[in-house]
Amino acid sequence: MKSKSLIAVIVPIYKAELTAAEEISLRQCLTVLHQYPIFIAKPQSLNIDFWLQAHPQLRIHCFDDHHFASTNTYNKLMASPKFYESFVEFEYVLIHQLDAFVFEDKLTEWCNKKWDYVGAPYLKSKHWQATEPFFYSNYENRLSRILLNGGLSLRNVRACLRFLKVYNCFFETWKGNEDMLFSLSASRLFWLRPWLKLPSYQEALSFAFEREPQRCFELNNQQLPFGCHAWERYDKAFWKAFIPQNTINQ
């Protein structure tokens, strides 16, 4: 039996014309992660010949156009077994949306940690303030987990398929953001925790930042993570120290 490859990088693209920031994101991905197979996941009808000519190392995987029609349909694709079955020859996939930026290649290191899903943690003030006293009124919050953003996320293909098979035994589809499902961030999902091995928010900070990057940097011992998500949206002033200034809109 053929052994599986360790990892593939998946870049979802739904349009042929990229913004300047999206081009930078893609070029950085191709530069830093060049040793891995990099797939463009795109609508069947989308013509991206220009990008294939410029970057012949790119591979293509097409999905039906309707999966890219809206955020909702994209979320359904990412929360469907169909997506992960498309990459079963790999142990892991890195989802790299074009609002992500990777700083250095730590992919193999992160695969070796054996998490089933990891992304930038969505932190709130309670994560850096003193622990609040326990009251039964906030019990539901204590059942919830940190949201790990899916825009730059590492996923164990087999584990995600297994998890979705269990979930779909009880529910037809997940109707929210797909990263909420894989993060088990809603209290109603607590019973599914044995099916996914997830990192703490402290560990996830070493993987990626998103919101509050300055605070994340402090909590991560003033160390940059593997990458970041939504770097143009959150605290541009912070990111100017680490991402070339001409990549960030003034």
Q: What is the CB neighbour count within 10 angstroms for residue 123?
A: 20
Q: What is the CB neighbour count within 10 angstroms for residue 103?
A: 15
pLDDT at 139: 39
Each residue's pLDDT expressed in tens, for the chain with a length of 250 residues = 345 699 999 999 999 999 999 999 999 999 999 999 999 999 999 999 999 999 999 999 999 999 999 999 999 999 999 999 999 999 999 999 999 999 999 999 999 999 999 999 998 755 444 444 444 444 344 445 789 999 999 999 999 999 999 999 998 888 889 999 999 988 788 888 999 999 999 999 999 999 999 999 999 999 999 999 999 999 989 999 998 755 555 4
DSSP codes of every residue in 76-121? HHHTSHHHHHTTTTEEEEEEE-TTEEE-S--HHHHHTTT-SEEEEE
Q: How would you classify residue 71: left for phi > 0, otherwise alpha for psi between -120 and 50, otherwise beta? A: alpha
- Which sequence spans correspond to the domains of the chain? 5-242
Q: Which two tokens stand for residue 104?
A: 């250095």
Q: What whole-number distance in Å separates Cα of residue 207 and Cα of residue 120?
A: 7
pLDDT at 175: 86
Question: What backbone phi and psi angles, to 5 degrees, belong to 210?
Answer: -135, -95
pLDDT at 40: 98
pLDDT at 189: 86
Q: Which of 7, 212, 241, 234 is nearest to 123 (CA)?
A: 212
The answer to whether the CB of 53 falls within 8 A of the CB of 38 is no
| DSSP-derived secondary structure letter, 33 | T
The answer to whether the CB of 157 falls within 8 A of the CB of 78 is no
pLDDT at 201: 92
Q: Per DSSP, what are the bridge partners of residue 42? A: 62
pLDDT at 127: 46
Q: Which two tokens stand for residue 154?
A: 């590492």
| DSSP-derived secondary structure letter, 174 | -
- 5-242 belongs to CATH 3.90.550: yes
